Amino acid sequence: MTLYLDSSALLKRYIREPGTSEVARLLELDDRWVAANHGYTEVAINLRRRLVEADVGPADSLFEEDWARILVIDVDDHLCQRAADLGVEHGLQTLDALHLAAAERAGGPELTFVTFDTRLAEAARAMGFPVAGV
């Protein structure tokens, strides 16, 4: 099993909130992680928005270590076009559609799609992905 981590899942590794223990368990069970490159931006912004200043440095350091080991899927023109189709088909927001298209490119239903976004989880299930989180 390889895990596709959307930003809602990845953030739970650095910010303690409901779902944090589930993400920790999944990440311990599988050391092959995949994410789209726009996930970096989502996580980096949210770490600074949601953590107090004293906690940003340690969380950011762990995030940078993790990001170095993640298989990163580039968001290019073809992926954007596929994301547009998926977004319309499944009623997704732009960034969520990009995550779904990236997961499809990275291996499709051979991956476990990890998200805590209900609408994105429903779309991933409709595409045949096993889903963890929601």
pLDDT tens digits for range 82-99: 999 999 999 999 999 999
pLDDT tens digits for range 99-120: 999 999 999 999 999 999 999 9
What domains appear along the chain, each with residue ranges and CATH number? Answer: 2-133 (3.40.50.1010)
Please, which pLDDT band fits residue 1 given cuts at 50, 70 and 90? low
What is the average per-residue pLDDT within 46-58?
94
CA–CA distance, 130 with 119 (Å, rounded to integer): 14
pLDDT tens digits for range 60-76: 999 999 999 999 999 99
What is the average per-residue pLDDT within 7-21?
96
The beta strands (E) that lie in the chain are given as 2-5, 33-36, 71-73, 111-115, 131-133
Q: Which residues of 23-60 are buried (b: 16+ CB within 10 A; e: fewer)?
A: beebbeeeeebbbbbbbbebbeebbeeebeeeebeebb
For the full predicted model, state whether its pTM sits above 0.75: yes
